[in-house]
């Protein structure tokens, strides 16, 4: 690939110099009919190139896309995305056709006369009202979904988990038996109390600090996010979930996992994607990849921003219960 | 303002000039210089993204102590994307584009002898120059230039402990930007005053070319929003240097708790995007104005729907100031605000769609003179549509959750404001080069430049949408730590190849531009057979623009191919030719459009 790249550069530079020296001696500056004719045809060729590239990417790159939403709330995101994507896809193909086809079709010629056509209220009304109507649908559906996702007020039996960020790692704290997180603040950071939990708060006692997320399938998870230094963003792409972590405040997001990690690994899109990835990894002599949910940092946060991740494992309820029972409570770990 | 010639020395003519034509050239050349720097940076970090573990001599040569054996360090990667964004958005596409063409065209197309204040105009340029110098100097400080992203969100930008670039590099960045904002504001006020007061006889607002409408409205957005960025920057300077806590609170870093209490980074985000979003239109509207003029002239047709075009410029400008929150859907602000901003954001699609459709209708049944300027304008319409459509995805808060800050966003804004605005700038340069230098640029090189550039622009940014949809966050030094992204390695290589070919191809433009200044074909007075007033001035620049009296305007600027019988396309041209300059009096009984 690299050889190809050097060849490309070589060709580009070569062509540049050859053309520049040759062309600058031609004192031609204003398009004549011959130019119009040529450039019009190039516009048509470019349209072919553009269509070919757009279609090629749409098909060939389908495999790298994220698999279907692994959260219940994300389902409507996927539907809304599909609707929007088809809509803009159609408009994109139509508009690009018109732009470059007209460039070709109406390329200038001495014998032609342009049409004097300055205004049409009817046409303008059509293309003001049509987008407006379409937008009403998109906005309506979008806002409905936004409210669904962001409204965490009536989730009584949601599991409360704090996700805690710092340069350059993630930690998490489960709320424990009482499902209430103890108060946290940077002033309490000391020794192994790395999340700055106030151990005099009675809610803190049964909290459990972990370095990996385990989530039970089918239960609403209510995330609370904190950061101790700079902005981070907790991005969980498979769940269609993201929220910034802001020092000095607690932010929130919630979703309900729909597939366990095991189920997801058997899902056809994931199987296909993993196979492709493993082909590439094998060629490089690296260990095979197995699908896992991930939490990534998605807000520039410093030098190691690109390597700030936490594994998320979604399991059945029973397995989750077993796992959470094994985690030590904060009060048993941190002695004041 | 006077018509007699003062004595000019080299210094007053070429350096501290108060003549708008010279100042516009100064803006352009400085902008091009900054653009070359920023473009080169993008090629360096594209090398890193395509071949993250590979050593490059060019990186070793340019990045000094910020690289190890030809591989750039993560810090400098972030610095490169930060400075690339800053320079492109502000120094190239705000000052380089708006500064150049507002200065050149506002007096010339309105029939004014110069800007309202030549002195302030000169100050505006020299402040811009100073800020450019400071920005370039910041590249050489030991810990590296600002690296917190062009949006410089605190606390990252406030704390040198968080990233080395937030030391002296960030200080210089802030000083440079503060001066830049002063420059922009002085320029913008000057443009507004000139448009309102110095129109020649007959040049009603409704007869102004769309270029002037665009520059005028752009200047107003700038005056509304740039001061807010200045205050954001000042408060950040206070937080950094004087211990205030506007943006900072509860921070534990490098093993200690800092004293900051009660501030919020979200406040900074609001202030930043209150400028940051209008800035998109500060960049884009002048390009759209330029394109309207060039497409109409080269189609030999009136621009379709002049009034709708003006209304949509104003609507876009107004809406642009109330949509900033769509950059902050997941910042932690109240979700209700997200709903409001989704609504206002998607509304922008309506005036934008009107503009796109009107451009296409202007092409329809035209007699297209496919000059390089025209091709770049058509290219702008194409990339504006491509990039604009994905705005419908990003502006919808529910969808934004999952693609926020991914490469999908990078692809979107590069197409809709980066490539489009650059195309508008190129179109303007090819079109008004004869007005600036009295010579024409070479068309063959122009064609090569256009086709290579547009192919590479699409080659870079179309595939980039898909790696965004794969969930790849932007501003990652490398994605090799995530096996789930291993399958996009080849796409990254492809993008880099297109980026480098496209970048190198800009040499075609540079060569054409600088050589044509001295050796280009001499221009006639009105090389494109255009209607607007700038083509009634002599080819050689003179103070005061018109040798005798100022021209008088009798009609709008878009009477191209006007017929004896408006409804009969086969009838003869009303004025015997396919263009009717604005100075031509109306014939008896002529419909004035």
Q: Please report, for the domain that includes residue B177, its CATH number.
A: 1.20.210.10
Q: Which of residues 397-416 of B touch A (CB under 8 A)?
A: 397-399, 401-402, 404-406
| Residue A153 touches chain B, beta carbons under 8 Å | no
| B541 is a domain residue | no
CA B64 to chain centre: 31
| A26 is a domain residue | no
For residue B82, pLDDT beyond 60: yes
* Chain B environment of A254 (Cβ under 8 Å): none
Q: Which of B295, B332, B477, B481 best tests the A interface by mutation, with the highest count of A CBs <10 A? A: B332
| Residue B267 touches chain A, beta carbons under 8 Å | no
Say whether both A225 and A259 belong to one domain: yes
**pLDDT for A218-240, tens place per residue?**
999 999 999 999 999 999 999 99
Say whether both A191 and A304 belong to one domain: yes
Say whether both A167 and A316 belong to one domain: yes
Cross-chain residue pair B451–A57, CB shorter than 8 Å = no
| Residue A94 touches chain B, beta carbons under 8 Å | no
**pLDDT for B432-444, tens place per residue?**
999 999 999 999 9
| A22 is a domain residue | no
Please enumerate, as own/partner, the contacts of A184-190 that have beta carbons within 8 Å and a separation of 24 or more: A184/A226, A185/B250, A186/A228, A186/A247, A186/B250, A186/B251, A186/B252, A186/B257, A187/B250, A187/B257, A189/A228, A189/B252, A189/B257
Element (H, E) at A265: helix A261-266
Quote the pLDDT of residue B438.
94
Structure-token pair, residue A176: 């424990």
Q: Which of B160, B386, B388, B402 best tests the A interface by mutation, with the highest count of A CBs <10 A? A: B402
**pLDDT for A185-209, tens place per residue?**
999 999 899 999 999 999 999 999 9
Q: Mean pLDDT of all residues in chain B?
A: 93
Say whether both A59 and A178 belong to one domain: no
| A269 is a domain residue | yes
| Residue A167 touches chain B, beta carbons under 8 Å | yes
Q: Mean pLDDT of all residues in chain A?
A: 92
Quote the pLDDT of residue B1.
42
| B74 is a domain residue | yes
Cross-chain residue pair A305–B78, CB shorter than 8 Å = yes
Average pLDDT over residues B482-506: 94
For residue B137, pLDDT beyond 60: yes
**The model's pTM:** 0.95
Quote the pLDDT of residue A180.
92
| A213 is a domain residue | yes
Domain limits at A215?
Answer: 159-331
Say whether both A170 and A311 belong to one domain: yes
Say whether both A313 and A214 belong to one domain: yes
* Chain B environment of A289 (Cβ under 8 Å): 483-484, 486
Average pLDDT over residues B287-313: 95
Average pLDDT over residues B346-361: 93
Structure-token pair, residue B124: 């505006």
**What percent of chain B is predicted at pLDDT more than 90?**
89
Cross-chain residue pair A16–B497, CB shorter than 8 Å = no
For residue B6, pLDDT beyond 90: no
For residue B500, pLDDT beyond 90: yes
Say whether both A234 and A199 belong to one domain: yes
* Chain B environment of A2 (Cβ under 8 Å): 51, 54
For residue B428, pLDDT beyond 70: yes
Q: Is B548 exposed, middle or buried (0-12, 13-18, 19+ CB in 10 A)?
A: exposed
Say whether both A166 and A308 belong to one domain: yes
What is the per-residue DSSP string for A5-18? HHHHHHHHHHHHHH
| B422 is a domain residue | yes
Euclidean distance between CA atoms B331 and A129, whole angstroms: 33
Q: Which of residues 306-345 of B touch A (CB under 8 A)?
A: 306-308, 330-332, 335, 338-339, 342-343
Cβ neighbours around A26 below 10 Å, total: 12
Cross-chain residue pair B342–A146, CB shorter than 8 Å = yes
Say whether both A173 and A271 belong to one domain: yes
Choosing from A115, A133, A151, the residue where a domain stops is A151
| A238 is a domain residue | yes
Domain limits at B34?
Answer: 10-248+263-536
Quote the pLDDT of residue B5.
54
Lowest mean pLDDT among A38-42, A275-279, B257-261, B565-569: B565-569
Cross-chain residue pair A98–B515, CB shorter than 8 Å = no
| Residue A100 touches chain B, beta carbons under 8 Å | yes
Number of structural domains (chain A) is 2
How far is the alpha carbon of B122 from chain A, nearest alpha carbon, in Å?
Answer: 32
| A221 is a domain residue | yes
Greatest Cα-to-Cα distance within chain A, rounded to the nearest angstrom: 93
Say whether both A145 and A70 belong to one domain: yes
For residue A40, pLDDT beyond 60: yes
Question: What is the chain A residue with the closest CA to B521?
Answer: A27
Quote the pLDDT of residue B588.
82
Q: In CATH, what number is assigned to the domain containing residue A203?
A: 2.60.40.420
CB pairs under 8 A between A and B: 434
Q: Taking a C-beta distance cutoff of 8 angstroms, is the pair B294, B373 a contact? A: yes
Lowest mean pLDDT among A54-63, A147-156, B52-61, B575-584: A147-156
For residue B4, pLDDT beyond 70: no
Kindly report the backbone phi and psi dihedral angles of residue A191, in degrees, each rounded to the nearest multiple of 5, phi listed first: 55, -125
Quote the pLDDT of residue B2.
44
When computed from its CA atoms, the radius of gyration of chain B, rounded to whole angstroms, is 24
For residue B3, pLDDT beyond 50: no
Candidates A50, A109, A277; nearest CB to B458 = A50
Question: What is the chain A residue with the closest CA to B567?
Answer: A116
CA B389 to chain centre: 19
Say whether both A307 and A215 belong to one domain: yes
Structure-token pair, residue A43: 């516009």
Q: Taking a C-beta distance cutoff of 8 angstroms, is the pair B288, B313 a contact? A: yes
| Residue A138 touches chain B, beta carbons under 8 Å | yes
pLDDT-derived band of residue A3, with 50, 70 and 90 as boundaries?
confident
Query: B311 to each of A122, A129, B192, B308, how far by Cα in Å?
Result: 16, 15, 18, 5
* Chain A environment of B406 (Cβ under 8 Å): 298
| B577 is a domain residue | no
| A116 is a domain residue | no
Say whether both A88 and A180 belong to one domain: no
| B587 is a domain residue | no
Cross-chain residue pair B497–A4, CB shorter than 8 Å = yes
ipTM: 0.94
Number of structural domains (chain B) is 1
| B560 is a domain residue | no
Lowest mean pLDDT among B8-22, B80-94, B223-237, B404-418: B8-22
Euclidean distance between CA atoms B485 and A61, whole angstroms: 13
């Amino acid at each position: 690939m690299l050889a190809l790249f050097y060849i490309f550069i070589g060709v580009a530079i070569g062509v540049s110099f050859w053309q520049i020296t040759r062309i600058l001696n031609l004192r031609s500056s204003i398009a004549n009919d011959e130019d119009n004719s040529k450039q019009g045809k190039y516009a048509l060729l470019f349209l072919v190139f553009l269509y070919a590239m757009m279609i090629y990417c749409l098909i060939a790159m389908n495999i790298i896309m994220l698999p279907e939403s692994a959260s219940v709330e994300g389902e409507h995101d996927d539907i809304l995305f599909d609707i929007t994507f088809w809509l803009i896809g159609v408009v994109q193909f139509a508009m690009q056709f018109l732009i470059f086809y007209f460039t070709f079709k109406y390329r200038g010629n001495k014998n032609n006369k342009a049409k004097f056509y300055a205004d049409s209220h009817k046409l303008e009304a059509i293309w003001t009202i049509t987008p407006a109507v379409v937008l009403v649908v998109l906005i309506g559906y979008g806002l409905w979904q936004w409210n669904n996702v962001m409204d965490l007020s009536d989730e009584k039996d949601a599991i409360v988990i704090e996700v805690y960020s710092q340069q350059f790692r993630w930690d998490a704290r489960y709320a424990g038996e009482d499902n209430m997180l103890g108060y946290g603040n940077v002033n309490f950071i000391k020794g192994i109390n790395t999340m700055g939990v106030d151990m005099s708060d009675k809610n803190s006692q049964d909290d459990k600090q972990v370095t990996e997320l385990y989530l039970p399938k089918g239960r609403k998870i209510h995330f609370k996010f904190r950061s101790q230094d700079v902005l981070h963003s907790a991005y969980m792409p498979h769940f269609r979930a993201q929220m910034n972590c802001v020092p000095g405040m607690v932010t929130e997001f919630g979703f309900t996992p729909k597939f366990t990690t095991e189920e997801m690994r058997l899902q056809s899109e994931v199987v296909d994607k993993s196979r492709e990835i493993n082909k590439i990894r094998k060629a490089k002599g690296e260990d095979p990849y197995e699908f896992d949910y991930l939490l990534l940092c998605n807000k520039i946060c410093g030098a190691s921003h690109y390597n700030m991740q936490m594994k998320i494992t979604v399991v059945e309820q029973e397995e989750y219960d077993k796992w959470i029972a094994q985690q030590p409570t904060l009060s048993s770990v941190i002695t004041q | 303002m006077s018509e007699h010639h003062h004595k000019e020395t080299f210094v007053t003519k070429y350096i501290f000039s108060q003549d708008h034509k010279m100042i516009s050239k100064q803006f352009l050349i400085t902008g091009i210089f900054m653009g070359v720097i920023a473009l080169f940076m993008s090629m360096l970090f594209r090398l890193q993204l395509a071949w993250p573990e590979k050593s490059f001599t060019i990186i070793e040569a340019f990045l000094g102590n910020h690289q190890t054996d030809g591989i750039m360090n993560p810090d400098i990667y972030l610095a490169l994307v930060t400075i690339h964004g800053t320079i492109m958005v502000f120094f190239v596409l705000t000052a380089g584009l708006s500064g150049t063409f507002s200065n050149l065209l506002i007096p010339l197309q309105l029939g004014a002898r110069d800007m309202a204040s030549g002195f302030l105009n000169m100050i505006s340029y020299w402040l811009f120059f100073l800020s450019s110098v400071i920005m370039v100097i910041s590249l050489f400080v030991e810990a590296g230039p600002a690296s917190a992203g062009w949006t410089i969100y605190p606390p990252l930008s406030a704390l040198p402990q968080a990233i080395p670039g937030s030391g002296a590099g960030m200080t210089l960045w802030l000083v440079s930007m503060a001066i830049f904002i002063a420059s922009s504001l002085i320029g913008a006020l000057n443009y507004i005053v000139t448009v309102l007061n110095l129109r020649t006889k007959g040049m009603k607002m409704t007869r102004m070319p769309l270029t002037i409408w665009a520059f005028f409205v752009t200047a107003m957005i700038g005056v509304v929003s740039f001061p807010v960025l200045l205050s954001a920057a000042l408060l950040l300077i206070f937080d950094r240097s004087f211990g205030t806590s506007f943006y900072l609170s509860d921070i534990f870093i490098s093993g200690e708790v800092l004293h900051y209490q009660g501030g919020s980074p979200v406040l900074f985000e609001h202030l930043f995007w209150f400028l940051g979003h209008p800035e998109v239109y500060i960049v884009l509207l002048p390009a759209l104005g330029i394109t309207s003029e060039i497409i109409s002239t080269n189609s030999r047709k009136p621009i379709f729907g002049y009034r709708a075009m003006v209304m949509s410029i104003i609507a876009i400008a107004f809406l642009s100031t109330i949509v900033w929150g769509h950059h902050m859907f997941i910042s932690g602000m109240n979700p209700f605000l997200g709903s409001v901003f989704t609504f206002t954001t998607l509304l922008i699609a309506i005036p934008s769609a009107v503009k796109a459709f009107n451009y296409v209708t202007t092409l329809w049944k035209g007699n297209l003179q496919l000059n390089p300027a025209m091709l770049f304008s058509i290219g702008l319409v194409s990339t504006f549509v491509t990039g604009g459509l994905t705005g419908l995805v990003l502006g919808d808060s529910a969808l934004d959750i999952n693609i926020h800050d991914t490469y999908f966003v990078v692809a979107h804004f590069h197409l809709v404001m980066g490539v489009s605005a650059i195309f508008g700038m190129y179109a303007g340069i090819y079109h008004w080069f004869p007005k600036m230098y009295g010579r024409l640029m070479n068309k063959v090189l122009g064609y090569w430049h256009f086709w290579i550039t547009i192919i590479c622009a699409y080659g870079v940014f179309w595939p980039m949408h898909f790696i965004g949809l794969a969930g790849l966050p932007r501003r990652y030094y490398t994605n090799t730590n995530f096996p789930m992204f291993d399958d996009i390695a080849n796409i990254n290589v492809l993008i880099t190849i297109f980026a480098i070919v496209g970048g190198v191809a800009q040499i075609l433009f540079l060569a054409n531009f600088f050589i044509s200044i001295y050796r280009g074909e001499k221009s006639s007075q009105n090389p494109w057979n255009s209607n607007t007033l700038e083509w009634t001035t002599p080819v050689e620049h003179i103070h005061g623009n018109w040798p005798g009296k100022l021209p008088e305007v009798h009609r709008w600027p878009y009477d191209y191919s006007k017929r004896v019988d408006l409804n009969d396309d086969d009838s003869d041209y009303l004025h015997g030719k396919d263009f009717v300059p604005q100075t031509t009096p109306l014939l008896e009984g002529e419909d004035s459009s």
